Structure 1
Amino acid sequence: MYELVSPVNPLAVLRYIGHLLLVFSAVLLVPVLAAFVLGETDAAVIYGSSALVTAGTGFLLQKVLPDFELEIKEALILAALTFPLCSLVSAVPMAFSTGMPFLDAYFECVSGLTTTGLSLAPPSPTRLFFFTRSWLQWIGGIGIIVLVLGILIRPGTTAFRLYRVNFGESRIRPSVITTARTLGTVYLVLTLLSLLLLLFSGMPFYDAVCHTLSSISTGGFSTQAGSIGAYGGFLIPFLITVSCIMGAISFSLYPEVLKEPGTLIRDPQVRYLFGLSLLGTALFVLTLSGGEGGPELFHMMPDAVFQVVSALTGTGFSTIDLAPLSDASKGFLSAIMCIGGSIGSTTGGIKLFRLIVIVQLIKLVFYRFFLPREAITPLKVKSQVVDPDDFYRIMTYVLLYLAVLVFSAFIFMFYGINSADAIFETSSALATAGLSTGVTTPGMPSLLKLVLCADMLLGRVEIVPLFILLLPRTWFEINRNTGEKRSSKDTA
């Protein structure tokens, strides 16, 4: 962290943006192929041209700029720039191919790459439009940096720092490159499994592909205006729920589960995920029924289970219309969305591990009342001792998360939106969940679209990197005596 006292090297950041653009140009080639298959040749030309320009820009940046070893500060900046930059690149062909206003196209791409699912879709979207935004969610779910690590970056200090900034220091393989490739393999296997489940349910192939990409990435984009509720029955919502849960469990856990299946149940985050799903379902049913019992509670149960899991995993599919819900129901779903799934999964929100740490801290405070003052009682999650620095980072993130949520909701209320809907919509964006009560529409004010874009990006990169990106000290060395600003180039 002390490295941030000196400014970043913008040339190093630009060179690795070149790596990023080269990989993302390949991402844009998939909609090109889909456009040909779906018979939308004009869109294929647009996406193909965008892919060529993106690849050319990335190649040029790599050739012109010298090679650098990334410091942690540059890796942080690259993490902060990845999602807004790639959203910008993908918004250009989307805007040209659909005729959407550019801000709406950018919103849609931010929502896709951050795996949120809020939408400003045009009145008559094409099949390519539905596929492309689901594809972006799938890419955003695995993380673009994983693709860069797995394809272009050679093993070394730079690879380690990019991995550390995006995923922490835990690894399931000896090197970060092999870890990234293993995580990618797990993601691909889960995707194929989810696709097979949806095809087994009888869902048409095109719909199954789009919903698989959106469910395993916990994204929530659907090909139907009524989301999963448009399919009816029990089987499809149930299998979608299974896919959402698979995407909300830490990918690093799956290789361990193959060796020892009991690892899944012993993982505290998984236990909290299922426990909160059960408890949340019971509470959500009570809010739906207004606190009254009766046989209708059993009829509400399937929709309640689906909606709670969808909200908790940050997926954003729905089987019911959320707009008519009571303020109590909306408030409860808002809280569930803010929790999110496991660290190391595709979900957003505060994350279950941070919630577990806070719960353990509360328990520890009460235990301390019955122990001698000199007793040593470390804060633990399972057998893992939580380092004080890690705890400070967790509490800082939670406080920043709540501050961003309150500020964003206030802007919505300033525009006349009632508090329940304002909190729900901003909670959905910040948790990258994607559920909506109908506030997010193409006709909403541009400022509110930008607020939701900022919330989605902050939720995906977990706030701190984007805040560091905006700090003057990140780019300039500030002399405290004179207030003079100097860039890293001037310092050199």
Structure 2
Amino acid sequence: MATPGSRILIRAARPAVVAKYLAELWLPLAGALAVPLVVTLAIGETGFAWRAAVVLAVIAALAVPAARHRAPTELAWNEALAVIALVFLTASLALAWPLTGFGLAPVDAVFEAVSAITTTGLTTVGDASAYGDGFLFARAWVQWYAGYLIVVVGLALVFPPGAASKRFAQSGIGHSDIVGGTKAHARRTAVVYIALTAAALLATLAAGVAPFEALLHVFTAVSTAGFSSHPESIAALPWAGQAVLVVAGLLGAVSFALYHRLTTRHWRQAWRDTELLTLLSCCLLFSVVLVLVLGISGQASWSDAALRGPLLAISAQSTTGFEPIAPATLDPGSKLVLSASMLVGGDIGSTAGGIKIIRLLVILGLLRLAMLRTALPPHAYADLRITGRRLEPEALQRALAVILMFLLTAGASWLVFLLAGVPAIDALFEVVSALGTVGLSAGISAPDLAPGLKLLLCLDMVAGRVEIIALLVLLYPPTWIGRGR
């Protein structure tokens, strides 16, 4: 709780500054609509194209003048978080209306738009291929574009080096080596992102996947997004293609700052990166546990469990959300294992969701420190170190706050689904998948899901992508009402 002294220091966000930086994010974001507009025009699906053209015109009319306004480079933390939350919310709404041009109901269009922009991959349209190739391409492209532009380095593209970009790095949305740097970092990351996409596409084609299907799935794999052109997801593809796409998703869940270090003289240290080793260890652990649960429960033969179980576990851990096995057919034990994996997620500074590996390390570090202090004399001092560095109290508070908000949000959403009569384990699985921006479904996300529950999952997807705190800051009255700066 704020003390009287600290309340005096509270300053409201400046609407003009928020609008300026929001507009600068919107200009490169327009590419998420521009490319599908051209593609749908070329194949004659004009319903999406003309709506996208209208939205792009509105963006240009509003964003260009706002972006030209001068704004201070010293961006307050509440302003940075407000911009982050607003860009995901407004981008989802802007994409939703063009998607109705494919024949989607408004609530389903909103759901697909939010799932695409947040790189989640949940869907309520059933067989997506029934809506045409233009729809399939638009969803996959938006996920790939959002994965790079917004989640990975979008902020570094539009914010100058200095205090403003550092504020965004501190928000937890990106990695300090990426977002807090210069446009050179953004260009280097773009090279890595495109190189990963190209390599994954070549490997997927070599695995026997048809070109258009390969392109769609690679877009959603590298962005750890998970949209598929098949109702049964990647289970419809050859096993080799499934394996390639799952590996591509895992590569997308690794911090892009690590890829940069691999190209420098520090590559030896990069291979010993604690977060990377922990991510790989989680993949191995959950793969082994899931194979054992599948085999013991009789859900699959031991050979089938050994072939497809690790693919599903890694897909959950990387928050890609591809389904080599339909989660709806699994036993409760398997769903709990996958829920734990989805909750943890991938690295900070990657396209993955979840609470992130670094925060798992914080929890483990606190547990280790608590055990250590039981063996120390009363006057001894021991600090918390993560990845070899001392964790400052403020950073620890932010990490614990994010973890707590994830758990509270998941619990509240789960309760709503339980009150709606959804089976408990399926409800928990779906909520964690949405909040972790994963995309695996226990069969709850479907065309006949109640509109209110669809919108709740949309809120969970946005909250999970902005790590909840940014959304709370946007709704916090002192963010907008109070003393000016």
Instruction: Compute the TM-score of the two structures, normalised by the length of structure 2.
Output: 0.92
Q: Does 1:414 align with 2:419?
A: yes
Structure 1 partner of 2:338: 333
Please give the alpha-carbon distance, in whole angstroms, between the structure 1 residues aligned to 2:59 and 2:172: 23
Partner of 1:218, secondary structure, is coil
Q: Residue 345 of structure 1 aligns with which residue?
A: 350
The match for 1:142 is 148
One-letter amino acid of the structure 2 residue matched with residue 204 of structure 1: A
Farther off after superposition, 177-186 or 24-33: 177-186
Q: CA deviation at 1:377?
A: 1.7
Classify 1:172/1:223 alpha carbon distance in 2 versus 1 (closer, same or farther; 3 Å): closer
Indicate how the Cα distance of structure 1 residues 172 and 318 shifts in structure 2: closer, same or farther if over 3 A, else same: closer
Q: Give the Cα–Cα distance (whole angstroms) in 2 for the partners of residues 452 and 357 of structure 1.
A: 28
Distance 1:366 1:291, change over 3 A: farther
Contact 1:145 1:162 in 2 (8 A): no
| Matched AA of 1:250 | S
1:47 to 48, 52, 55: 52
Match of 2:396 in 1: 391
1:462–1:173 distance in 2 versus 1, CA, 3 Å: closer
Q: Deviations over 1:128-153 (max 9, x none)?
A: 11111111111221242766545544
Counterpart residue type for residue 243 of structure 1: A
Q: Secondary structure at the match of 1:252?
A: helix
State which of 105, 124, 132 in structure 2 corresponds to 1:101. Answer: 105
- The answer (yes or no) to whether the contact 1:349–1:431 under 8 Å persists in 2 is yes
Contact 1:360–1:381 (CA under 8 A) maintained in structure 2: yes
Corresponding residue number in structure 1 for 2:367: 362
Note the C-alpha offset of 1:154.
4.1
Hey, what's the Cα distance between the residues in 1 that align with 2:373 and 2:437?
37
1:326 & 1:458 partners in 2: Cα distance? 28
Where do 1:297-308 residues align within 5 Å? 297-308=302-313
Partners of 2:281 and 2:439 in 1: CA distance: 23
The CA deviation at 1:122 is 6.4
Using a 3 Å threshold, how does the CA distance of structure 1 residues 122 and 371 change in structure 2: closer, same or farther? closer
For 1:52 and 1:25, the matched residues in 2 are separated by: 10
Output the amino acid matched with 1:217.
S
Q: Which moved more, 1:262-271 or 1:391-400?
A: 262-271
CA spacing shift, 1:280–1:101, aligned 2, 3 Å: same
Distance in 1 separating the partners of 2:165 and 2:394? 24
Whether the aligned pair in 1 keeps the contact of 2:157 and 2:186 (CA below 8 Å) is no
1:381-403 alpha-carbon deviations (Å, 9 max, x no partner): 23211112211211111111101
Q: Secondary structure at the match of 1:203?
A: coil
Q: Which residue of 2 aligns with 1:485?
A: none
Write the letter of the residue equivalent to 2:213.
D
Decide whether aligned partners of structure 1 residues 320 and 242 sit closer, same or farther in structure 2, where only a CA change above 3 A counts.
same
User: How far apart are 1:38 and its partner, in Å?
Assistant: 3.1
What are structure 2's unaligned runs of at least 5 residues?
none
Quick check: 2:11–2:478 contact (8 Å CA) kept in 1?
yes
Using the TM superposition, give the Cα deviation of residue 285 of structure 1 relative to its aligned residue in structure 2, in angstroms. 1.8
Name the stretch that deviates more: 71-80 or 2-11. 2-11
Preserved CA contact (<8 Å) 1:286 1:292: no
Distance in 2 (CA, whole Å) between partners of 1:253 and 1:20 is 25
Q: 1:263-313 CA distances to partner (integer Å, 9 max, x unpaired)?
A: 3431111111221222212211222233579x9323311110000000111
Query: Which residue matches 1:210?
Result: 216
Rounded to whole Å, the distance in 1 between the matches of 2:316 and 2:431 is: 13
Map 1:45-444; keep pairs closer than 5 Å: 45-62=50-67, 67-69=71-73, 70-95=75-100, 97-121=101-125, 124-144=130-150, 149=155, 151-165=157-171, 167=173, 170-171=176-177, 175-232=181-238, 234-259=239-264, 260-290=266-296, 296-444=301-449
Among candidates 33, 37, 41, match of residue 38 of structure 2: 33
Contact persistence 2:116–2:142 (CA under 8 A): yes
On the 8 A contact 2:156/2:181 being kept in 1, the answer is no
Change (3 A) 1:116 1:189: same
Asked whether the equivalents of residues 146 and 181 of structure 1 are also in contact (C-alpha less than 8 Å), the reply is no
Partners of 1:392 and 1:148 in 2: how far apart?
26
- Matched-pair contact (CA < 8 Å) for 2:121–2:225: yes
Residues 317-342 of structure 1, C-alpha deviations (whole Å, 9 max, x = no match): 01122212111111111111101011
Quick check: 252-261 or 400-409, which moved more?
252-261
2:334 counterpart SS class: helix
**2:152, 2:178 within 8 Å by CA — same for their partners in 1?**
no
Contact 1:159 1:177 in 2 (8 A): no
SS of 1:372's partner is coil
Q: Deviations over 1:18-48 (max 9, x none)?
A: 2223222232111012213434244333322
Measure, in 1, the Cα distance between the counterparts of 2:371 and 2:274.
21
> Over residues 367-417 of structure 1, what are the superposed CA-to-partner deviations in whole Å (9 max), with x where a residue is unaligned?
222222222222112321111221121111111110100100010010000
Contact 2:18 / 2:79 at 8 angstroms: preserved in 1? yes
When structure 1 is superposed on structure 2, of 371-380 and 157-166 the one drifting more is 157-166
Q: How many residues align?
A: 476
Identical amino acids, percent of aligned pairs: 34
Describe the shift of the 1:383–1:88 C-alpha distance in structure 2 as closer, same or farther (beyond 3 A): same
Q: 1:122 to 1:306 in 2, by over 3 A?
A: closer
- Shift of the 169–369 alpha-carbon distance from structure 1 to 2, 3 Å rule, reads same
- Relative to the length of structure 1, the TM-score reads 0.90
Offset of residue 170 of structure 1: 2.9
Letter of the 2:458 counterpart: C
Per the TM alignment, residue 159 of structure 1 is displaced from its structure 2 partner at its CA by 3.7
Task: Tell me the residue number matched to 2:473.
Answer: 468
